[in-house]
Structure 1
Amino acid sequence: MTLATRRIAPVLSILRPAAHIPQINIQPRTINYVHSRTFSTSIPYYAAMEHVFSPKAVAPIGPYTQAIKANGMVFLSGQIPANSQARLIEGTIAEKTHKMCQNAKAVLEAAGSSLDKAVRVTVYFQNMDDMKEMNEVYAEYFPHKPARSACESPRLPADASMEMDIIALE
C-alpha cells in the first residue's frame, strides 16, 4: 500500500454506504389538482393552489384573484375601501377602514377562514398620518393582534387612500 493509498482509503470508506444503513427511495407525492405548482425543496413536494372569489368584496381590477388558498394558508390580494364594483367609497378614514376590513372578511369567509385567523397584515397608506384613526377601527376587527407592517406609498391602485393585504390560516 502506497502512501497516497493510505491517505485516500479512510475517505473512501466514508463515502461507501454501509451495509447496515437502509437505503430509502423517496418518490414525489403526486396530487391531481386543477392548479398545482412544484415548490423547490430537496424533497419534491406538490402543493395545491385554489383561487377564491367573493361577490361581496371588491372585484379584481387587474389580472389577479381576490385570494389564493395553498397549504392551509389564505393569501389575500390587497383590499381597498371600495364597493363590489370597485368604486371607492367616500368618507372618513374610519369609514374607509371599516369597508376595507369588511371586504377582507368577505374574501376570507369565501375561503373558509376568518379575520380571527389572520397571522400577518400589511397596510399601505397614501398618508401615514391616517394611521392613528385607522388603528382605532382596525383593533375592532383584529383583537388578537396579528403581525403587521405599515408603510406609506405615494400611489395605490384606483387612487385609494389605503390598502390592506392579509395572510391567514385556512
Structure 2
Amino acid sequence: MQKISTTNAPGAIGPYSQGYEVNGVVYTSGQIPVDPATGEVPEGIRAQAEQSCKNVGAILLAAQTGFENVFKTTCFLADMKDFATFNEVYAQYFISNPARSCVAVKELPKGVLCEIEAIAKV
C-alpha cells in the first residue's frame, strides 16, 4: 500500500488519508469543495462541484493517473435539486464515464453541497 498525499488538495481534517494506491488502483477519500490554497469554500453548487473535481484531480495526479482512468465514483449531494447542475460540471472532468453512485445525504462536512470520491487505475 502506498499513501497518496498532496498539498494541491485539502489536507485530511480527521484520521484518514487523501488516498491510497493498492496493486495499481487508486482510492481517493471523499473530496469536499475546499480550496487547498485558501481553505475557503466557494458559493453555489456549480463552483463547489468544480472545486471538488479539482481536488479529486490533484490526488489522481499525485498518484500518477488521471480522470481518464477513473472507473468508479461515489458522489454525495446535500440536495438532489442540484443533481442536473452537478452532472454538468462532473461530465467535464470524469471523461471516462465511470460507474457511479450518487446519493443525497442529510449533511456534509463544513456544510458543503457536494463530495466526490473516486477509484482509478494507475
Aligned to 1:96: 48
For structure 1, the residue ranges without an aligned partner over 5 or more in a row are 1-48
Q: CA RMSD, aligned part only?
A: 1.3
Question: Does the CA-based 8 Å contact 1:58-1:86 persist in structure 2?
Answer: no
Question: 1 CA distance for matches of 2:7 and 2:54?
Answer: 12
Partner AA of 2:113 in structure 1: S
Q: Tell which has more relative contact order, 1 or 2 (C-alpha 8 A, sep 6+).
A: 2
Question: 2 CA distance for matches of 1:162 and 1:139?
Answer: 15
* Structure 2 SS opposite 1:99: helix
Larger Rg: 1
How high is the TM-score relative to the length of structure 2?
Answer: 0.94
**1:14-62 CA distance string (max 9 Å, x none):** xxxxxxxxxxxxxxxxxxxxxxxxxxxxxxxxxxx11011101011000
How high is the TM-score relative to the length of structure 1?
Answer: 0.68
For structure 2, the residue ranges without an aligned partner over 5 or more in a row are none
2:113 paired with 1:157: no
Question: 1 CA distance for matches of 2:39 and 2:113?
Answer: 13
Percent identity for Structure 1 against Structure 2: 34
* Structure 2 SS opposite 1:84: coil
Partner AA of 2:77 in structure 1: F
> Number of residues paired by the alignment?
122
* Structure 2 SS opposite 1:54: coil
